[in-house]
Structure 1
Amino acid sequence: MLQRIFRAYVGSFSDLRREVWLLAFITFINRAGTMVIPFLSLYLTKNRGFSLDEVGWILTFFGLGSVAGAWVGGKLVDRIGHYKTMALSLLLSGVLFIFLQFPVSFWGICAGIFIVMLVADAFRPAVFVAINAYSKPQNRTRSVTLIRLAINLGFSAGPAVGGLIIAGAGYSGLFWVDGITCIMAGLLLLNLLHPKKAVENPKDIISIPKSMMKDKPYLVFILAMILFGFVFLQYFSTMPLYYSKVHLLSEFEIGLLLGLNGFLIFLFEMPLIKYLESKVRSTLFHVITGTVLVAISFLLINLTGWIGIVIVGMIFLTLGEMIAFPFSNSFALKRAEGGKQGAYMAMYSIAFSTGHIFGHNSGMQLIDKFGYSLTWNVMILLSIITCVLLIYVLFLVKKETDASVLRAEESQIPS
């Protein structure tokens, strides 16, 4: 029985190209090093003495830099290619992460965070284009999932190691390790992954794309993803404060709890996605299911003060994330058929960057003025709105499909 499960697990990773595995490994090194981010709100309040209101605004600049980075990354990919864009982003962000520990003023930290995220998040659209270039078309969605697994495995190791670094060397050591690992990832990219190994699809390059801005189902979907990102990101900005102030967890304990998220994703996401793909359900149905599970995680946190509920809540969040993100990626890729995948995936990245702009700040302001309980209720309400929008997208896609079928039938009727 266990042998069969193991074979099925290994089988879910089959047929992926060597270059995709190398890209995943480089992404893992980079993500494992990005351990400053989960502790950023704690660093700003405990080490720098900023209020929750000020931290909220600093994290808004984090989101603004993320949006700008996704946009700049898309432009750079068009001009110099995905390979050079990824290398520049990794190497420069490594240096910038090291220097981020030195600003002490409010505006200095705002500027530092913005510049770091501008450079670091230029990597994201370049990675999507790289996946498109290095993977076989039939394995593209699983290639995206493998990159997500690398990110989350790195995220499971990063916060746990980060908590130890803070305990032993303080926050300064965290910035140094973060910067050095980004530089290492950039050097690995230059030495292991070669752009000549890419399998470019000429059709994707020369075709005249459909206009993404006229794709109504996709635009409504992006709005839903902005709201979903707004809710989801609370677990990595305001929720650590809740763990610290309400449940009195240490940085190391918070790191382990956040690390549980990435570890569970590494173990179960690929087999779960393969299993769900075998079910006769639409992609959007799975995204809705994931959103509901995330909402339940906030509901559980609000039901009891029992400390074990934070683990249960994290498990529900992780299940929701494992289902919602791969299938939302898949939906975006599907909508991009006949158009530019890079443009569609850049917009998908920007949706979550937009969540960074408003999510962190709004979460901090809500907690500061109304407390944690009401804030989590707001997240539940936003999750419900997200589900309603996704159901509307389902309706639009069905209407679109019915119209296409009707046109096809009419074209076959003899004149």
Structure 2
Amino acid sequence: MRKIYRNYIDNFSGLSREIWLLSLVTFINRAGAMVLPFLSLYLVSEKGFTKPEVGIIMTCYGVGSIFGTIIGGKLTDGIGYHKTIVLSLLLGGLGFIGLQFLDTFYLICVGMFLLILLADAYRPAVFVAAEAYSKPGNVTRAIALIRLAINLGFSIGPVIGGIIITRINYASLFWIDGVTCALASLLLFIVLKPKKVVLKEKIIIKKEGKSPYKNPLYILLFLIMVLSSITFVQYFSVVPLFYKDVYLLSEDLIGLLLFINGAIIVIFEMPLVGWLERIKISKTMALLWGNAFLAASFLILNFSSWIGVLIIGMVLMTIGEMIASPFSSALALSMAPKGRKGSYMGLFSMSFSISHLVGHNAGMNLSDVYGYAFNWYVMFAVLIVVCLLSLWLYGILKKSSEYVEY
């Protein structure tokens, strides 16, 4: 038992103080993020919108996310990752507080767009910060630690959020989310001072500074991430409605199901990433296997009406997320030339933004017209395509002389 504990702790060794502080701030931010997992339920049950209307609102979420990641990437390259993160957290927190006071469909669409534009400027900046504060060879584990902080907060948030909804009301969530974002911004400003960090030459051979939009291999990775993320965001909108409509689960039980995702990631992601690095799995193959597990998580939902498949599906999705997310981020960083990290990670983050633009709306309408089962089959088919594209990217990168790691 002591050996297991020692091996687990060893996965965290060698990470800088700044990475730990950044992870702490990220945890505080995500622990208060109770609104997003219940957003589709809130819009249907509290505001009375239909599924297609919720799909349009979530499309506005996606448009805001696209502009937010673009702006965040530009700001990161311009004013630096530290100022970008602080401003994003502070203004995003104020946005969450204000969103609860909007009632009409069009106002909520505009409010959602502005809120996510502010909040998602954080994403490319935190990737660049993770690399800037990392020692050579620690980037993937640094990203995994930040993801662990995100998921530790995310595992606690939905449980508390579900209880608050059941015992109090939805409005409390907006206040808690907004205040915790502001507190995270203040803590980051106090404890993590910006400093000049010399970016290390790591695994990039090509140094021309080519724009990410003119890099065909990066565009292929971007396409893979867009299609994968379109399926993944179903767990933030359509899946909670599926739990409530088909299995009649209450918000607190839905929160417990989401807790499984965060708890597994907190316990197992760092050891899993460490093990995969030790066996020297390529980043692209890790991306392929992660999406294979995600595909299985949707397929199993149609196998049985037994409530246990919800837990199995959540576990399969979580395994896929633990494998694909840190390695895809590390792959994107490794393909980014010096001086353009913000722009490259802005485009990478935009893949998730586009998934919000397309995924929620598509999932809501497919489920509304053809039923949930049809939607799960469509998501499974999309992920099979993603796996094939990942295999193609692996073959190209393996033969390429431009990149040492792939």
Q: Shorter-normalised TM-score: what interval?
A: over 0.9
Does the aligned pair in 1 maintain the 2:77–2:341 contact within 8 Å? no
Give how far 1:339 is off. Answer: 6.2
Give how far 1:28 is off. Answer: 0.5
Q: What per-residue deviation string (whole Å, max 9, x for no partner) do you get for residues 119-143 of structure 1? A: 0011111111211222223212211
Q: 1:201: which partner in 2?
A: 199
Q: What per-residue deviation string (whole Å, max 9, x for no partner) do you get for residues 266-312 of structure 1? A: 10001001111122432211111111111111111100000111001
Q: 1:230: which partner in 2?
A: 230
Q: 2:252: which partner in 1?
A: 252
Which is worse superposed, 208-217 or 371-380? 208-217
**1:309 and 1:376 mapped to 2: Cα distance?**
13
Q: What per-residue deviation string (whole Å, max 9, x for no partner) do you get for residues 7-48 of structure 1? A: 011000001111110000000000111110010000000000
**1:303 and 1:181 mapped to 2: Cα distance?**
40
Going by fraction, where is helix more abundant, 1 or 2? 1
Does the aligned pair in 2 maintain the 1:240–1:254 contact within 8 Å? yes
Give how far 1:337 is off. Answer: 4.7
Give the gaps of 5 or more residues in structure 2: none
Residues 222-371 of structure 1 aligned to structure 2 (within 5 Å): 222-337=222-337, 340-371=340-371
Q: What per-residue deviation string (whole Å, max 9, x for no partner) do you get for residues 374-393 of structure 1? A: 00000000000101111111
**2:118 and 2:231 mapped to 1: Cα distance?**
25
Residues 41-80 of structure 1 aligned to structure 2 (within 5 Å): 41-80=40-79
CA gap 1:128/1:351 in 2 versus in 1, 3 angstroms: same
Q: What per-residue deviation string (whole Å, max 9, x for no partner) do you get for residues 228-257 of structure 1? A: 000111111100000000001100000110
**2:330 and 2:80 mapped to 1: Cα distance?**
23
**1:129 and 1:238 mapped to 2: Cα distance?**
31
TM-score under structure 1 length normalisation: 0.93
Once superposed, what is the RMSD of the aligned Cα atoms? 1.7
**1:135 and 1:273 mapped to 2: Cα distance?**
16
Q: 1:8: which partner in 2?
A: 7
SS of residue in 2 equivalent to 1:378: helix
Amino acid at match of 2:336: A
1:398 aligns with 2:389: no
SS of residue in 1 equivalent to 2:247: coil
Give the gaps of 5 or more residues in structure 1: 406-415
CA gap 1:404/1:188 in 2 versus in 1, 3 angstroms: closer
Does the aligned pair in 1 maintain the 2:31–2:156 contact within 8 Å? yes
Does the aligned pair in 2 maintain the 1:297–1:313 contact within 8 Å? yes
Q: Runs of 4 or more off by more than 6 Å in structure 1?
A: none
**1:19 and 1:280 mapped to 2: Cα distance?**
26
Q: 1:103: which partner in 2?
A: 102
Q: 2:128: which partner in 1?
A: 129
Give how far 1:102 is off. Answer: 0.7
Structure with max Cα Rg: 1
**1:215 and 1:93 mapped to 2: Cα distance?**
32
Identity of aligned residues (%): 50
Q: 1:409: which partner in 2?
A: none
Give how far 1:180 is off. Answer: 0.6
TM-score under structure 2 length normalisation: 0.95
Does the aligned pair in 2 maintain the 1:210–1:338 contact within 8 Å? no
Q: What per-residue deviation string (whole Å, max 9, x for no partner) do you get for residues 293-334 of structure 1? A: 111111111000001110011000000110011111121122
SS of residue in 1 equivalent to 2:169: helix
CA gap 1:280/1:135 in 2 versus in 1, 3 angstroms: closer
